Amino acid sequence: MTVRVRFAPSPTGMFHVGGARSALQNWIFAKQQGGVFVLRVEDTDAARNKPEWTEGILSALEWIGIARDTYEGPYFQSAYAGEHRAAAGRLHDAGRAYYCDCTREAVQARTGSQYQGYDGFCRDRGLPPGEGRALRFRTPDEGTTVVVDLIRGEPTFENKLIEDFVIARGDGSPVFLLANVVDDMTMGITHVIRAEEHLPNTPKQQLLWDALGVKPPVWAHVPVVVNEKRQKLSKRRDKVALEAYRDEGYLAAAMRNYLMLLGWAPSGDREIVPWSVIEEEFRLAEVNPSPAFFDEKKLRAFNGEYIRALPVDEFVAACRPWLTGTGTIAPPPWQPEEFDADAFAAVAPLAQTRIAVLSEIVPNVDFLFLADPLIDEAAWAKAMKEGAAELLDAAVAGYTALESWDAESLKSTLEAVGAERGLKLGKAQAPVRVAVTGRTVGLPLFESLEVLGRERTLARLRAARLRLV
């Protein structure tokens, strides 16, 4: 039997990091088993679906390494409406489902509670199909439904506690429970690996598989992903869109490594490991069922490690969208003609050790490409205290007289200027750094001045001095 797994997102918004984690787990499992990964887009919510969301799913999957030529599909759930209706008809004809015209208000009036489930009022009324009549599945009165789960063991559900649930609406359209089951049957899905939030639906779906005469798939419900307050990640409250992390400058390799650690870990005391190790060692049965904490600070640290491990030429190429404003990246504060690729290449090794996400490259190097630096006024106030004007005058004089414009000469000159005023280098360079770069922190100062050049450096020091008059 060929293993077939599926990832079935809905195109109703940005791509959730929890969904990306599930996609990777399905994809790796299929590869390990020599099986097939199927992408099915559940697009039946016509009011919320948008074509751009579908394209977003495809591009997000490709970004994290699930290329379009490595999976079957995408299939669209809306194309299988006929199969859904046919399955509902078979269940009704077999006596496994019945029509019901009860309103929510009528059920509440009979049960005396808005929280109690459906009371089975229409089970034996023999209603034919009709406008406004939903089709309900006839849940067995006795026995249990056992869900064999690779991660959670064998959760057992008493059938008497499962209400007769709706499988088709009053207009004949199937609900998610039935459509999902029929799609999996149609596509020959053998293993369903999905988020824990679907576990409560699983006994109902397994009953549908049994009623339709098909052996259920192997289930595996991976842990819910939570925030630092141990609340389920929510797009209304948390930063969950994979595209947002991509556009901020997280590397795909770092993201997919981190996502795979949400509920699982490779052997040994390791977290950052080659992708080939993850592909080889990942085991569904080893996934921890407890909620998995999505720690953005840890992800950021991961990303910094991956950035520092890049060969410099790859780092330069990775930064280019932020330096040129291409793709989905916001344009930088300089004009395209002001960007100097050679200047950036000169400082790239210095910047590579200081940033954790690629978007941080802009404030680290903007001083190189702007006619005038962007002055941080708080930094200015902190650096330009008493004595700053005289120090800038001395720095201009010393730098003007330099024969060799190199980092070591620039450093020794400013050290001497500071020593004459009883200042250590750290204190002496603060006014110079703010005058030239606009900030109190950034790349190593003297290497930056070397790349910026004599003319531009002196012009900025003089402009800062005039501002202090």
> Which residue numbers are catalytic?
235
Q: At what angle do helices 312-324 and 361-369 cross, to 10 degrees?
A: 70
Query: Sheet containing 166-168: which strands, arranged edge to edge?
Result: 97-100, 134-137, 166-168
Work out whether the CA dihedral 447, 452, 455, 460 comes out positive or negative: negative
Contacts of 69 (CB under 8 A, 6+ apart): none
Residue type at 328?
A: T
Encoded amino acid at 357, one letter: V
Kindly report the CA angle at 25 between 21 and 26, in degrees rounded to 5? 120
CB 373 within 8 A of CB 460: yes
Query: What would the 3-class secondary structure string for 47-92 be?
Result: CCCCHHHHHHHHHHHHHCCCCHHHCEEEEEHHHHHHHHHHHHHHHH
Closest CA to 139 of 199, 203, 84: 203
Tell me the C-alpha distance between 83 and 274, whole Å.
43
- Is there a contact between 224 and 231 (Cβ–Cβ < 8 Å)? no
> Around Cβ 12, how many Cβ atoms within 10 Å?
13
Per the CB < 8 A criterion, the answer to whether 461 and 432 are in contact is: yes
Mark out the alpha helices in 310-424 (DSSP H runs). Answer: 312-324, 341-352, 361-369, 377-383, 388-400, 407-420
**Which contacts (CB < 8 Å, 24+ apart) does range 143-148 have?**
145/203, 145/206, 145/207, 147/199, 147/202, 147/203, 147/206, 147/219, 148/218, 148/219
Q: How many CA atoms lie within 13 A of 21 on its CB side?
A: 27
Q: Which two tokens stand for residue 320?
A: 């280019």
Tokens (6 digits) for 178: 């039935």
SS3 per-residue string spanning 408-454: HHHHHHHHHHHHHCCCCHHHHHHHHHHHHHCCCCCCCHHHHHHHHCH
Apex CA 189: angle with CA 183 and CA 193, to 5°? Answer: 105
| CA distances, 225 to each of 189, 194, 299 (Å) | 25, 12, 14
